[in-house]
Every structure is written in C-alpha cells, then in structure tokens.
Structure 1
C-alpha cells in the first residue's frame, strides 16, 4: 500500500490508492480480522477431525513427536521410536549439509536433478530430494498422493503445455510466472474453481447432516438427555458415521467430544466480530465501505472451510491464493477513482487472516486429538497465541519497515518483493485489462468435472460401491494445479516407501513410520537453516554440480575447447 511499493506504476500511485503503514492501525486491524477465522471453522471441527478423519500432516507429525517423548507403552518402545526419529533427523540434516557443497551457483545441486529426463524436467517433473515432501507423503493416505500425482500429470503434463503454446494469442508473451495476466491466471482460477466445487459440496453436506441431527434430537429429547448424561465412547451421529476399529481411536473420540461447545456460540461470536469489523475497518481504510467489509466476512467462512479441508488432505495452505481472488474482486468493485488498489489489498488481508488462522486452528485440533488434549485447552491457547501475534508481528514488521528504507525495493534492497506482485494484481483488477482468454470457460469446465467427481465419490461411499476406492480426491488434484510437480512426486515417494515398508514388516511400519516421518520433516526444516547460517558467515558452496542435455554438453565442451585453444 505504501508509496514506495507504488513507484514505477503508470497510474494509481497517488491519492487514495496509496496508504502508508501505521503501527497502531495494523494492530487494530489484525485484532479484528484474525480471531474471526477461529470462530468460522470451529463449528466444523468435529466433522473434519472425526467424521472425515483428515490427516493434517503437520499437526499429526507434531502429535506423534509429542507422543514419542511421553508414550505410556514402555521404555523399550519409546527408545526405539526416539532412535528412529533421531536417525531420520540427523540423516536429513547431514544430507542438507552435503547438498550445500554442490550448490555453488544458479541451477546447481541435487535439487535440479532431472530424475525422469530432460524433457520431463523442463515441464517440472523431477525429484528434488525434499525430505519434507517425503515425510508428508508418509502421513497422507495413498489415495491423496496418487490423486496429487494424477493432478500434476493432467495439469503440468497436458493442460499447461497446451496453454503455453497459445502465448501471444490468448495472453501476452514474456510475462513473469507470477503475473495473473499470463499462464498463472489459468493456474489460479482453474485450481480455485475445483477446490470450491469440492469444498462447497462437503460444506453443504455437513450442514444438512447437522440440521438433520438437530431435528432428530429435538424430536427425541429422551435420547438427548441420555447422551448428555454421559455414555462410554459417545459419538455424535452427525459427526461420525464410521466404525472406529481401535481402542485408541475410540478413546481419542471420547476425549475430543467431551468438551462440547454449543453450535451457536462460535456462530454468534463470528457475527459479533463481523459487525464490529464492518463498523471499524472502514474508518481504518476509508477506501473500503461498510458493504464491502460485510461481503468479505460473508464469503470468508466458505474460503476458510475449503482451505482447511484441502490443508487437512495435502498439508498445503493456499490462503494467499484466496487472497489474490479477493484482490481482483474488491479492486474491480471499488474502482480506481475510489481507491480500488488499497481496497483490494485490505480485503485481501481480511480474507487471508480468516482463512489462515482457521487452517492453523484445525492443525492444532488434530494435534490435540492425537495427544488426548482437551479441545478447550487448544482453543484457549490458540486465542492467546493469536492475540500475541497481532501485536508482535506488526512490531517486527514495523522495525524492518523503518530500517530498510520504508519498504523501498531496488537493486540494492530486496525486502518485500511480493509487495509489487500483490499491488500488480490489484492494478489488474481496476484496469480494463482482462484475464487471459478462455479463463472463465476453463473454470466452468473444471468446476463441473470436479463437482461430478465429488458427487460420484459421495454416492459411492454412501452406497458402498467398490469403485469408491478408485475415485480420486478432487481437492488433492486441484492443489496439484498450483504447486510444482516436484511436491507431488516427493509425496508419492513417501507413500511408496510406506507401502514397501509395510509389505516387509507391517507391525514395525505402523510403530516406527510416524517417528521416521517426523524426523524427516523436522530435519529438513532444520537443514534449511544451514544455507542462511553459512551465508551470514560469508561462506559459499565450493562446487557446482549441474545436469545438462547431451546437446548442451557437446556445445559446452566445444566452447571450452575453443577457449583453451585461443588462450
């Protein structure tokens, strides 16, 4: 929003399309927007965690890490799990350090290894040795990883290469990959349309089941009183409709459902926060009017649910993508003369705050579910952490903003490169430039296809058809439209490792695989700090290992030979 971020724009760089950051205003804005997402997703926690049994890989990894350190099943099992975790952790960190030595330049290192050949590598298909992706794949069900791989093959292997052949016809050539006017516009809107199709179907089905169960309880108050009085392993019929096979699952379900919150409490809380924000936010950013803020809070729960559902399946948080959609909607709605740039960016912040906090809360609920932690405790901790973040994060941002020349971005200062990207999206929304040709047609087609697949999966599940095992996950395929194929391939490798491990020793796999996956994820996260730490001490990788095609290698050899002869 700042004037420095607007530098270089032909228009929209002055007046009410520019808004300098203010520390107090940022704190108030975050306090209003961040808590709404917690209330928006709470009514769906039982359905997402218990009924759909979503994985939420990051939350599951954290929970297994905690349980490994505090397991009540004996010192021998604990020592084996801890040993497996430490081996995976240390091995991953050592591998990260080893890779650093061979990354002495652009496109150098093992992450650029063309695993499936040069042609596939040019399309993005390669295994980049990211142990985080492998660890997440070890947690995810086989259907999810296979669906993501299928989505990558369809999108990055077929759809995007075909659309790239239309460059200069459907969209301008030589655009950045992040430019919404280019091929990235197809990726964003097609993927969002598929996610919305599947998310809306699940959201409507959950609401219908909940209303049906409430009507049944009102018609049979005696059964309701018996349930309220307490019953061993009691489960709401609207929440869980499948048999839990183990004692651990039944116990976790009992603990998770014990701290019940009336359905209307989070609904009322969200409505109250929405009303307060509708009144206050237009005074913080005058470019947004009351009806703009009200509409943002009306659509935010839909986006929050869709993102939480997708995050629970694939561990991918695409809140920023929903924010980009909000920028386009609100910037075009408000218009250039009334400050559409700032309005779109402020609306983006509202949506991203709601969607991101909702997804984080569900990850924490999954951790609490596995560790037998009270959901009330999780909720209180999340509220406290969100309140601290609403104060600490703006202060940290303000310190960097003041130190680095007020957010200016030039050749010597690379702070905040995404500021111009998001502002460019807002400029796209308020100008006459349209989205790439046939974008809406592609969205309609893929929306219909995703909805058809989702309906088929629900019907097949309800009627116990055998084909239900082979119907892919729509959201998993949609996420693959956004992320590079290397992520899908890494997750598939993790699932393949689990499958082969289970074939050789199923009991050992079930006991040790969570610890091994945790070690891979945590080790890769710690290993990613190696390069920045070495950069701080001005160390550079001594070797560059690069993989080239035979033709390029022959040309390089000829060039080096000619240079050696001339010298």
Structure 2
C-alpha cells in the first residue's frame, strides 16, 4: 500500500514508500518460482490427465490454422482489421485528450442518461465506490460499505470453492482410475502410448517427452530461488518475516498445482483468490503491528507463483498441440517473465510520476479497494451463483453473474454503457453476417482495446513534460449555465 492510499484510511501506519528499485527486485525474487514449481508435472497434466486448458488449446488451433491456405488469408484480414481499429481507437483517445484540461472534463463525463442520472453514477466518493446515500444504520459512509468488492469477494469465494472441489474430485478420479501398482508419472519417465492413439498424438507425445526439462533442474531451481527470496524479501518488507516466507514456499507448489489443474479443467485461474487467502492468513499471523503490509506482500508472492504456474501450463498445452519444444516454451517464459519484471514497474512508475493524484478518490485512477474491506454482500453473491448452478441452463443464462454486476460499481457506470453498446453492435453484426462477426470480432475488439490502452503512454509522457490539454469541456444544466453566464457577465 502506498502512502497516498494509506492516508485515506483511519490507520495510515502500514505503508511503504514506492521506489522503482525495490519493486523490480521484489518481482525478480518471486516471479520465477511458479515456473519451476510445475515443470515436473507437465507430463501428468498434459498427457496423462489430458486436461483441456481451453485457452492454450484455442491458441494452438489458431496457430495451426495460420499454416493453411484459408487460415493465411483469414489472418491477413484479421491483421488488417486490427490495425484499422487500433488506429481509430488511438486517434480517438488523442482527440479526447484536448478536452480534458480539468476534473470531470471531456467526453468521459458525457451525461448519456441525463445530468440527474449522472449525479448518481454509483461512484459517490470516487470511481467505483458505491455508498448508500445518507446515514442509514450499517450502511453509513464511515462504515466502509463497498458493495462491489463485497459482491466480487462473495462471488470469488463461491467459485473458488466450486473450482477447488472440481479440481480435487477430478484429481481423485484420475488417480483412482490408474493402476495403483504403477509408478506415478513424472517428467523423467516415458509413458506407454496406447496403440489406439492417432499418429498426430503419437508425434506430439514423442516430441513433448523428447525435449524434456529434467526434474532435478526444476526442483533445484525452485529451492535456489526460494532461498534467495527468503533472505531478500525481509529486507524489502521488514514486516514480512523470513519464517512467513518459508512457510509460504513450502505450501506454494501445492497451491500452484491446484491452480494449474483447476485452470486446465475450467480455464479459470484463481490466483487472486489464493492471494486473498494469503492476506488473511499472513495478516492474522503478523497481527496489528505491520499485519496489513505483511499480508499485502504475501498476497503478491502467492499470486506471482500460482498465476505463472497456470500460465506456463497453458503454454505447455499450446506447445504440445503445435509441436513446439517444451524446453523452448520454458525458456521463452523465463525471458518474458524477466522482461515483465522490468517493464511493468517502469510503466507503473511512469503513471505514478505523471499523475500526482494517482490512487486518490475522485480522480481518474483511484484505488478504492485498497482502503476498505466489505462487510456485506457475501451471502447475496453466493446465493445468486448457487441459483445459477441449480436451475436449468435454459433459465440460468438469464440470472446475472455477481462478478459482472459488480464491475460497474467497481470502476464506474460508464463501463456498463460501453459494454452495452459494444454488445449491441456485435449482436447486430452477428445477425447480419455471423461468420464474418465470428472471424473478425476478436480482431476488432483487440484493436479497440490496444489503441485506447497505448494512448495512455503518450498521455503520461505529456503529463510528465508539463503539457496540459487546452480545453475543458463540461456539461451543465440550464440553471447552472445561467448562473455561469451571470457570473461572467457581471
């Protein structure tokens, strides 16, 4: 937690001043552990258990399709559409910048549903914070009722238990059906390939097992990095004792395995939920003296381990289906992770230095969920999810997801309008030409997202250079406009 955010809460002693050096060092000592923790299990996950890993499988099919005449032609169209909408989105962001000279200026503050509705945009204290108006018992502002986080945490808790139960049941089913007298399959042993397996699968399995990564290398790498991390992290976060870290690293491989296995079944990484568990456990262990900072640091450690583990296993699945070398996939992950350890803090540091109000309520980039903990909403989110799972799929699709419901509360109601407009355009496009919409829709979406996101980089550079937009475009009611005219005229 930074000092800016900590000062918004009643207890502003648990914070650490941000510095680029320690952020990069922290990422380097924790980000590689997840990669080494699941390498010995790649054969079990991909070949023996035959987990689908939907995202990795979809990526593999997309890559394979590029190597066909039809796929090459489609890829050219997708790249062309992506470039077109990337340019449009980037230029639109540049155009909007000219009208954002002050707070609540520009097209982002356009009152689509009227000025009265804009006053109740479900972000009373800042983007994404929804307080019940007035002083009504437990729903007082000072009680810290954060509806969005309550719904997200309740929804996440339900899905965490759901995915974890499916993971344990699937793992039990896989192990129970195996011959208990045989050795557990590990990366250093070859598996017998059934005669019924197709030639393509035989070829994939042969290549996947041929270019293997020794288990001793993975285990040794994990132990070595863990030792460095245990010795280093307490110097970065003094509240995070060495024995906290040691206990986390003992249990981390099991959590990484559960997350990788669950991701293979459901395509859902629960890294953030495992991080929340670390917050509660380590925070409670540390107590009132530094418990907040110790819990947040532990959350970062666990999230880095379990998320990179599931990502690597998705990549192994992609490599298996595309006949790519698993060793090359692993080395690529190492290189990409190392680049991310430098690039991500640098990008954040650019934002942090460019915007003096970063993390403050009522600004473009608030950090509301770092200040309060929800006390309501768990039961409602769990009941809604339970109802969705129990009713027939025909009717269940009409029951909203609490996670999706919480997003407009979380980052502002404008997001719901954006999603509605985009969904409506895609719906009409599918009615007109479904094949074209399915083929080019993702490319259009990627172009719009990337263009808008990339624009924030030059916007930050302009802010660092002290260049401010020349115009502030605001929307006033008739009465407010009359008062402004009288003030300027008088």
Q: Which TM-score applies when normalising by structure 2?
A: 0.68
* Aligned 8 A contact 1:68 1:82 in 2: no
Residue 195 (structure 2) pairs with residue 231 (structure 1): no
Tell me which residue corresponds to 1:178: none
Deviation of 1:270 after TM superposition, in Å, equals 10
Offset from partner CA, 1:312-359 (integer Å, 9 cap, x none):
9899x994x87677556534432345x435533432432343355457
Deviation of 1:480 after TM superposition, in Å, equals 5.8
Cα pair distance change 1:255/1:533, threshold 3 Å:
farther
Deviation of 1:471 after TM superposition, in Å, equals 5.7
Structure 2: how far apart are the matches of 1:520 and 1:413?
24
Cα pair distance change 1:270/1:79, threshold 3 Å:
closer
Structure 2: how far apart are the matches of 1:362 and 1:490?
33
Residue 255 (structure 2) pairs with residue 301 (structure 1): yes
Tell me which residue corresponds to 2:429: 501
Tell me which residue corresponds to 1:114: 111
Q: For 1:206, which of 167, 174, 194 is the aligned residue?
A: 167
Offset from partner CA, 1:90-122 (integer Å, 9 cap, x none):
222222222223323221221122223334434
Q: Secondary structure of 2:474's match?
A: coil
* Aligned 8 A contact 1:32 1:277 in 2: yes
Cα pair distance change 1:209/1:470, threshold 3 Å:
farther
* Aligned 8 A contact 1:313 1:476 in 2: no
Structure 2: how far apart are the matches of 1:283 and 1:538?
38
Tell me which residue corresponds to 1:532: 460
Residue 182 (structure 2) pairs with residue 182 (structure 1): no
Q: Secondary structure of 2:475's match?
A: coil
Cα pair distance change 1:546/1:340, threshold 3 Å:
same
Tell me which residue corresponds to 2:89: 92
Deviation of 1:561 after TM superposition, in Å, equals 2.5
Deviation of 1:198 after TM superposition, in Å, equals 0.9
Structure 2: how far apart are the matches of 1:101 and 1:389?
32
Structure 2: how far apart are the matches of 1:188 and 1:273?
37
Residue 132 (structure 2) pairs with residue 164 (structure 1): yes
* Aligned 8 A contact 2:98 2:471 in 1: yes
* Aligned 8 A contact 2:111 2:118 in 1: yes
Unaligned runs of 5+ in 1: 127-155, 176-180, 236-253, 402-406, 429-434
Cα pair distance change 1:10/1:91, threshold 3 Å:
closer
Tell me which residue corresponds to 2:298: 347
Deviation of 1:205 after TM superposition, in Å, equals 0.8
Instruction: Report the aligned-residue RMSD.
Output: 5.6
Corresponding residue pairs, total = 460
Cα pair distance change 1:122/1:302, threshold 3 Å:
farther
Q: Secondary structure of 1:227's match?
A: coil
Residue 70 (structure 2) pairs with residue 73 (structure 1): yes
Cα pair distance change 1:313/1:205, threshold 3 Å:
closer
* Aligned 8 A contact 2:24 2:342 in 1: yes
Residue 419 (structure 2) pairs with residue 491 (structure 1): yes
* Aligned 8 A contact 1:2 1:18 in 2: yes
Q: For 2:282, which of 310, 313, 330 is the aligned residue?
A: 330
